[in-house]
Amino acid sequence: MTSREKILASIASNKPSLVTLPNVPIFEGDGSIERFKTVLEGIGGRAIEVASKADCQTAIDKYYSDLKNVASNIVKASVAVNLDTTKDILEQVDLAVLQGEIGVAENGTIWVPESNMLNRALPFITQHLVLVLDKKNIVANMQQAYDKLEGVGSYGVFIAGPSKTADIEQALVIGAHGARSMMVLIY
Amino acid sequence: MNHQNHPELAEAFNKDFERTTWHDETLWFVRQKRDKAVYPIPEFQDLRTLASEIKDHTLSNLDNYLLEFEQNAIKNGVKVHWAADATEHNQIVMDIIKETSLEKAKGRNIRLIKSKSMLTEECHLNVFLQKNNIDVVDTDLGERIIQFRDEAPSHIVMPAIHLKKEDVGETFHEHLGTAKGEKDPQILTEAARQHLREKFVAADVALTGVNFAIAETGSFVVCTNEGNADLGVNLAKVHIACMGIEKIIPKLHHLSVYTRLLARSATGQPITSYTSHFTKPAEGKEMHIVIVDNGRTQQLGRADFRASLKCIRCGACMNTCPVYRRSGGHSYDFTVPGPIGAILSPNIDLHKYSSLPFASTLCGSCTDVCPVKIDIHVQLYKWRQIVGQANELPAAKKWGMKGLAKVLSMPKVYDLSGKLARGALRILPHGLTHNQSMNPWAKARELPDAPKQSFKEWYEENRK
């Protein structure tokens, strides 16, 4: 008997009789931009409203003029990043500006599917991260977010603010391994 | 027989009074953060109930969900492996590492980076791989700290919570060359960031744990704050994810329940910084999943204790537990410490862990904060009965209990004992009544003044 068969047989003989699966309701809640912004700021991120998607460039110029290596398919890029980009190039990226799909007001998180990442490693290896988000796509909570998602594709991540840790004496430090800062441009 | 004993290890931890107090207060602070994060969610109790019921359902159909998960994962191009125990798990992981990377390594050691996985701690994977010439680097900051110090994690979410920043400064000075005496968490974290970036880029294989595995899609979810799982996986050629059989949930949308509960319960954050959904490997890369039993199916067969398998490893029961907070994670000497560890460990080795179900006041706070509503304190009580029946109680406790049971069953003897004790407490010197070898209860406590009469005597006098 293989381990697979052994484990499955052991479960079959040890499991309790079938218990009903409950229905998960779509809970109502406050899905406002204001709440999203407040929560995001509470977890170390920053949210700026811009008039239109085209205005993202102005915001990037204003806030990140000091950053040299920018990877993006939304604003002007100085580093070309795609699926085949090597690690040594990815390591040099100062700023990635990418499209976010769904924002969640309750926890400040944003869904970023692989198709928006240019390269799977980019949102994590970049020193700073900006996600742009259509305000129509802000929902109240995770039930509404998963309801709106049509599958999770090959790979996708809910990103909530910058990378952080509190592993040394519970002192919060922003910028553990991933992005040192995270901004959301809401249009 | 030399087996671990929670009271002895806890006593050693308590020798440093200031550190014990600091540990207690720090974890209580995390518990308070949890409360602040939980109270504003109007449906939080509904979510706990749903989380509990979804897990109850899943456990009652676990074999079928595992099969569905396997089938979908294979369709996604993922290789699925099954391990009955820790030994087999470690062997499978090593075989994958060697098969995929030996050639590429060309004579140097293969480099593995890991994000947090309590399962691999449970299986003692690191030591095994290192013995087989594989370089293993833990990338979670807390885990890297304790890896440098060759210690075990003392908490499942905050592995280095037993250390102070001065300790970390000393460790980093030794291993990373930070300035002597440097203890600023910001500077120490930056040093680790620089050090680990090199490791991320150089790694051949990345290993992660699994927070949730979704039967419906064959996907699995990994939650981190640091981004270390994603950074590691997306830079390495091979991803190995190790999961216990109990990590399964049926549907993708069930994640909406658990992602609202996990971080709020664990650290008081609204959600972890990264909630990563892995379904298919990237073009040209490999993804492996190792599904592990290691005693879990046995626990599934214990009707009184199977609910412990619902645990989502948030650590809330530790942060709230007055015994954990004042005895430290290492006093449990088990991969998962605290109240949940004390109900998981006797299933693995009743003899070795017989003292853990007693590491509790049975106050029930663990049960109150558990996001999946495990009846932790009830299970602690039930394990105590089993420990007693298996004759695993320490002699003093066993005979003390037997004696007490006798006295309590004979009202006249009970009355007389009470009288004698009240008299003795008034007459005998403090040094004798509080003698620590005769009365261990008085080690850190004062007895109250003995009353002149018992309640029974008072009632006889005063009833009308």
Q: Which residues contact B360 (CB under 8 A, 6 or more apart)?
A: B321, B323, B339, B342, B366, B377, B380
Interval A6-59: pLDDT, tens? 999 999 999 999 999 999 999 999 999 999 999 999 999 999 999 999 999 999
* DSSP code, position A91: T
Task: Please judge whether A167 and B158 are an interchain contact, meaning their C-beta atoms are less than 8 angstroms apart.
Answer: yes
Q: Could you tell me the two tokens for B395?
A: 């002699």
Which candidate, B164, B124, B130, places its Cα nearest to that of B334? B124
Which residues have CB under 8 Å from B353's CB, separation 6+?
B4, B334, B342, B345, B346
User: In whole angstroms, what is the distance from residue A42 CA to residue B145 CA?
Assistant: 27
Residues pairing with A112 in the sheet: A157
Q: Does A28 touch chain B (CB under 8 A)?
A: no
* Beta bridge partner(s), residue B407: none
Residue contact A142–B256, C-beta within 8 A: yes
The whole-chain average pLDDT of chain A stands at 97
Say yes or no for a CB contact (<8 Å) between B273 and A164: yes
Name the residue facing B188 among A18, A39, A168 (closest C-beta). A168
> What whole-number distance in Å separates Cα of residue B62 and Cα of residue A69?
49
Residue B189 has a pLDDT of 97
Could you say which of B26, B163, B277 has the minimum Cβ distance to residue A156?
B277
pLDDT tens string A99-132: 999 999 999 999 999 999 999 999 999 999 999 9
- Residue B440 phi, psi dihedral angles, 5° rounding: -60, -25
- Strand pairing partners for A182? A129
Q: What is the DSSP string of B199-246?
A: HHHH-SEEEE--SEEETTTTEEEEEESS-HHHHHHHHSSEEEEEEEGG
pLDDT tens sequence for chain B (464 residues): 456 689 999 999 999 999 999 999 999 999 999 999 999 999 999 999 999 999 999 999 999 999 999 999 999 999 999 999 999 999 999 999 999 999 889 999 999 999 999 999 999 999 999 999 999 999 999 999 999 999 999 999 999 999 999 999 999 999 999 999 999 999 999 999 999 999 999 999 999 999 999 999 999 999 999 999 999 999 999 999 999 999 999 999 999 999 999 999 999 999 999 999 999 999 999 999 999 999 999 999 999 999 999 999 999 999 999 999 999 999 999 999 999 999 999 999 999 999 999 999 999 999 999 999 999 999 999 999 999 999 888 888 888 888 889 999 999 999 998 898 888 888 888 888 888 777 778 877 888 888 888 998 899 999 87
Cα separation, B62 vs B116, whole angstroms: 25
Q: Residue A161: helix, strand or coil by DSSP?
A: coil
How would you label B292-327 residue by residue, b for 16+ Cβ within 10 Å and e otherwise? bbbbbbebbebeebbbbbbbbbbbbbbbbbebbbbb
Per CB-CB distance under 8 Å, the chain A contacts of B257 are 24, 142-143
CA–CA gap between residue B336 and residue B22 (Å, rounded): 21
b/e B394-430 (16+ beta carbons within 10 angstroms → b):
eeeeeeeeeeeeeeeeeeeebeeebeeebeeeeeeee
Q: What is the ipTM score, two decimals?
A: 0.98
Would an 8 Å CB–CB cutoff place A83 in contact with chain B? yes
Burial bucket for residue A142 (CB in 10 Å: 0-12, 13-18, 19+): buried
pTM of the predicted protein model: 0.95
User: Count of CB atoms within 10 A of residue B213's CB?
Assistant: 26
Q: Which of A167, A172, A174, A181 should be substituted to probe chain B, the one whose Cβ sees the most B Cβ atoms within 10 Å?
A: A167
Hey, is B81 helix, strand or coil?
Answer: strand
A84 touches chain B (CB under 8 A): no
Strand order in the sheet with A46-49: A46-49, A181-186, A128-133, A95-99, A70-72
Q: What confidence tens digit (pLDDT) does each residue in A44-75 have?
A: 999 999 999 999 999 999 999 999 999 999 99
Mutate to test the interface with A, among B56, B57, B234 (most CBs of A within 10 A): B234
In what side-by-side order are the strands of the sheet with B286-292? B79-83, B286-292, B238-244, B205-208, B110-114, B134-138
Contact assessment for residue B172 and residue B192, using Cβ atoms and an 8 Å cutoff: yes
Chain B contact for A16 (CB, 8 A cutoff): yes
Strand order in the sheet with A102-104: A138-139, A102-104, A109-113, A155-159, B274-278, B219-224, B212-214, B248-249
